[in-house]
Structure 1
């Protein structure tokens, strides 16, 4: 383990938000590569929110309040920055519970040295691009977080210097890496849909996830049976016209772009979102025999790889440990399931759709495929680097320390979703059994995005886990 760094605070701006939050925008400087700090620095961005102190009439200053410890919210992904505080369910509940809340943009996302195509290409050849991109995994993220903690709490009383973290989805993966590497910085850990498959390799992970994706496709076609023919019709149209269908943002509308919409199936309302787009697409074909600009713009917004390329480039690497390459695990796992034939057959022109008795056309889930690097304009120049990363296995360190998790002393509270399409429940249970002292609430009533869709319900579960005692 390399030495612990303290981030340098390079900017701070505060204001009172109309919704009543005291918001402070923070900019930090940390090494790009903690193992070689002389290689340069990057800038990180975070927002802290608290309740403004009250001023009693007749007094010139607010009444002093006790110091409030931090709760750090860690977003899902990888590849997405922290949410806007006023709209997130965690904000009010955590403030009411006595925390100051910190929303952090991971390195490479949001306003923290955001990765974009030109920035990656400027690193040099493909090997140099890979060396750069691998610095944006969870092992670097937790070093950033610990560096920020040391900076923000340096002058605080020791009892307040540890902080709490809250990880949603990939944020839970980050929590487990933090517990593995810097448990001394943590007071408590909350996770929703984030019990990472610590013991499993990429091909195992995706093979399990496809089974849940199949269930969600079946649920979709059960809810909207007319879409079985509609999706097949759109896919058939695309197999003969996709080279000519240009999207407003510069990409092309391919069968793979269509089927990638299934990423939404794992969240509350996701089936409806995809159905509404299918209705728009079919309506365009019925009226014009082509897709209109408003419909294509709606399609583009659903899977934002162009604005969040880190998700596509590094997604499979979140399951890689030392000596393990992903080798396009999602694509290889798809070969086991006939309904995902569009991903595994290179010549779609020979497919005639619809065909009586043919297997249904299934949407994919959160999987990333090499075909995406042909249709998204910001991903196209990065395809050589993505191919190289898929073959890369020389990771300097593991993302998790199983021995440390077995002897964990930090309180951990997790809500786990039995029907989660993004995190296999079997793997989640394996990980829960590994982490000493963890408390888990399992439910089959919620989907992966429940923290946003049903935040009060999920937060109530978590705080009940924290506040209740076991005999």
Structure 2
């Protein structure tokens, strides 16, 4: 079966990858499903099928990427969760609206709108419309057959939205590191995650005993010398702290440490910033390249209430993060702060709309507790006990409220476990969903 033969917007472009055939699809869909006058956007997806099964009628597995604001992974090898999936599925890698090859969202694409227009436009890029897009795509690719979905991190939030409003479109669902809190405010979420970040800092300094002095030296240097990052923005100590987002990833602490130990060059005339550090630091943060992540991150927790820059406000309860030298500089985690829209060049034009979105009080509900309590779709979830991004206690709390959800609680993996050992993790979740005995 050729997907392009079933879909008029298929490009017909195919790629041969190791053991896989990939095909590109583009769907033209409403920006606002309640108001067609607001126009249309394109949503891109890439199909994958094992080269030996490309002519078979296979069930679909749709992958929801973490984020918000990040495109689906670009496959390069027949490995990980994709390898396991292709033994029985045809995979759809969805570039959620505004990401990847879907109609882009960035300062340039929104430049024709004023702040209010930008805020209104971006209000349509949460999980509710991502799932409306998915159902519109299913009506084309699999109109008579429910499909299977897999959500990583924010993708798991999309899974619970799907179960809340369109469970009829699902055969089964899988979640890795992404069970959202139900009935919890953004304030509660960040209060919990700051505690996790503090522990990750302690773990980091126990593992790398010279990390504290390396950070202290770099902190002092930044206070005394301007350091410019591409594309011309000044690196501040607050921006340096954002590296902490990597402390919650497999291999993340190592990446941060190896970057820090190369930050300063010792010369006869004193310390100098290492150009290598400047380039690699910029590459390790996604705020310039993925603005949706910054603009909408707190909104994923909002239902009929404003976030009001929750991470920024709750940070005041943890003064350890604002200590001055010679106290050690602590790194922050997955938090968005209003000052970031004054620092990152490609976020600056979005400052006004970000302020409006942070103050927005009429965010529609994302989840239906009654529908989740009566869910009949088999759901298997991996919950990581040490997860810095998604609080374990809140995940377990939600799991009790979703019927037919089984979970695997493990300390073996960090938040990005699906990237590191995806074949094993996905295989285990499939076994859980299908009642297989596990050792």
Please tell me the TM-score bracket, short chain as reference: over 0.9
Q: Which stretch shifts more, 288-297 or 255-264?
A: 288-297
Partner of 1:345: none
Deviation at 1:341, TM superposition (A): 1.5
Higher helix share: 1
Q: Name which of 384, 388, 393 aligns with 2:352.
A: 384
Q: Secondary structure at the match of 2:108?
A: helix
Partner of 2:379: 412
Residues 210-229 of structure 1: pairs in structure 2 closer than 5 A: 210-229=194-213
Residues 289-300 of structure 1: pairs in structure 2 closer than 5 A: 289-300=271-282
Q: Any stretches of 5+ residues in structure 1 without a counterpart?
A: 1-6, 55-61, 343-350
Q: Any stretches of 5+ residues in structure 2 without a counterpart?
A: 1-5
Q: What is the alpha-carbon distance in structure 2 between the residues aligned to residue 110 and residue 245 of structure 1?
A: 31
Q: Name which of 85, 95, 103 aligns with 2:86.
A: 95
Partner of 1:190: 174
Q: Secondary structure at the match of 2:209?
A: coil
Deviation at 1:8, TM superposition (A): 7.7
Partner of 1:58: none
Deviation at 1:224, TM superposition (A): 1.0
Kept after mapping to 2: 8 A contact 1:415/1:461? no
For the pair shown, which has the larger CA radius of gyration, 1 or 2? Answer: 1
Partner of 2:96: 106
Q: Secondary structure at the match of 2:408?
A: strand
Residues 39-438 of structure 1: pairs in structure 2 closer than 5 A: 39-53=38-52, 65=56, 67-87=57-77, 89-96=80-87, 98-123=88-113, 125-154=114-143, 158=144, 161-241=145-225, 244-283=226-265, 289-322=271-304, 324-341=305-322, 351=324, 353-354=325-326, 358=327, 360-395=328-363, 397-438=364-405
Q: Secondary structure at the match of 1:120?
A: coil
Deviation at 1:468, TM superposition (A): 2.2
Sort the Cα spacing of 1:185 and 1:285 in 2 relative to 1 into closer, same or farther, 3 A.
farther
Kept after mapping to 2: 8 A contact 1:73/1:165? yes
What is the aligned residue count? 431
Q: For the aligned residues, what is the CA RMSD?
A: 1.9
In the TM superposition, what whole-angstrom CA distance separates every residue of 1:427-456 from its partner, at most 9, and x where no partner exists?
A: 001110010010100001111000001222
Q: Which stretch shifts more, 282-291 or 107-116?
A: 282-291
Partner of 1:457: 424
In the TM superposition, what whole-angstrom CA distance separates every residue of 1:138-189 from its partner, at most 9, and x where no partner exists?
A: 11100000000101124xxx3xx11000000000000001111111100000
Sort the Cα spacing of 1:279 and 1:178 in 2 relative to 1 into closer, same or farther, 3 A.
same
Kept after mapping to 1: 8 A contact 2:227/2:234? yes
Sort the Cα spacing of 1:81 and 1:18 in 2 relative to 1 into closer, same or farther, 3 A.
closer
Q: Secondary structure at the match of 2:28?
A: strand
Q: What is the alpha-carbon distance in structure 2 between the residues aligned to residue 9 and residue 392 of structure 1?
A: 38
TM-score relative to the length of structure 1: 0.88
Q: What is the alpha-carbon distance in structure 2 between the residues aligned to residue 424 and residue 339 of structure 1?
A: 20
In the TM superposition, what whole-angstrom CA distance separates every residue of 1:304-361 from its partner, at most 9, and x where no partner exists?
A: 1111111011100000001x1111111111111121126xxxxxxxx4x22xxx4x32
Q: What is the alpha-carbon distance in structure 2 between the residues aligned to residue 10 and residue 372 of structure 1?
A: 38
Sort the Cα spacing of 1:9 and 1:261 in 2 relative to 1 into closer, same or farther, 3 A.
farther
Deviation at 1:53, TM superposition (A): 4.4
Deviation at 1:284, TM superposition (A): 5.9
Q: What is the alpha-carbon distance in structure 2 between the residues aligned to residue 235 and residue 307 of structure 1?
A: 25
